[in-house]
Amino acid sequence: MDIRTPQLLYHGTTSRTVDSFAKRLLASRYWRPGKDFGEGFYTTISIAQARQWAHKTAKESWDGGKPCVLVVELASIPPQTEPLLFLSDSLAWASFIYSHRRMTVKGMDPCELHPEIIIGPMADNDTGKIVHKAVQLNKDDAWFYDEITRSGKGRRLDALSLGNQVVFASERWESHLRLVGYHVYSGGRWLYEDAKDTGETQSV
């Protein structure tokens, strides 16, 4: 598959993690199980979506950091890459999410060979609670698919409404990614700082 670069991607985090990410973007020891596409570094092509992730992460974090969005350039592609691409929501996509969401032990994965990069829609609604309910009631993939593609009010959403995520599941991609800069939410606005310049910031 031909993936054209450069491509800017965004990662929601907190301001306390910037120094660590500046040294290394992909550190698998920090990746958590039980996420949509398994353990990995989660990014999106939508800065608005990343800002939502950042606010959620800061709210749930104990480090006291402010919402922060990393701007990451996908500068090149490793050789012999075979990405898993979900163009839209589908039963296969939901099954992939369902199997990985049920993984609670780090290092365990339902895939015989987990893809190094996965691209596809996000699940909507509160997926964690839906997974718990599905397991408790022994629901199948089709039930799970219907539940995660609905809004909190029960409205059916299409792929464009669900949002997008690009997940790097191998540290082999480290040399192909570059931290360009980051946005920090402070004083009711987002301030941008270039990764090469720790001086003045500008409002965005």
- Is 1 inside any structural domain? no
pTM of this structure = 0.90
Q: Per-residue pLDDT averaged across 65-92, rounded?
A: 93
Distance in angstroms (rounded) separating the CA atoms of residues 175 and 30:
18
- Is 102 inside any structural domain? yes
Give the count of domains, the chain.
1
Q: Is the dihedral of CA 69, 167, 108, 174 positive or negative?
A: negative
Q: Which two tokens stand for residue 31?
A: 């990746």
Reply yes or no on whether the pLDDT at 199 is more than 50.
no
Q: Give me the pLDDT at residue 158, please.
A: 78
Q: Do 72 and 9 meet the contact criterion of CB atoms below 8 Å apart?
A: yes
86-100, 149-163, 166-180, range with the lowest pLDDT: 149-163
Contacts of 145 (CB under 8 A, 6+ apart): 89, 90, 91, 93, 94, 95
Reply yes or no on whether the pLDDT at 30 is more than 60.
yes
- The residue among 118, 119, 121 whose CA lies nearest residue 158 is 121
Give the pLDDT band of residue 82 (cuts 50, 70, 90).
Answer: confident
Q: Which two tokens stand for residue 195?
A: 């990764």
Secondary structure E strands in 104-204: 117-121, 164-168, 177-186, 189-194, 202-203
**Average pLDDT score, the chain:** 90
53-62, 80-89, 152-161, 186-195, range with the lowest pLDDT: 152-161
Q: Do 147 and 134 meet the contact criterion of CB atoms below 8 Å apart?
A: yes
Secondary structure E strands in the chain: 7-14, 41-43, 67-74, 84-85, 117-121, 164-168, 177-186, 189-194, 202-203
Give the pLDDT band of residue 1 (cuts 50, 70, 90).
Answer: low
Q: Per-residue pLDDT averaged across 23-46, rounded?
A: 95
Secondary structure E strands in 48-174: 67-74, 84-85, 117-121, 164-168
Reply yes or no on whether the pLDDT at 189 is more than 70.
yes
Q: Which range marks the domain in which residue 173 is found?
A: 7-203
- Is 2 inside any structural domain? no
Q: Per-residue pLDDT averaged across 141-160, rounded?
A: 85
Distance in angstroms (rounded) separating the CA atoms of residues 4 and 73:
12
Q: Give me the pLDDT at residue 201, please.
A: 44
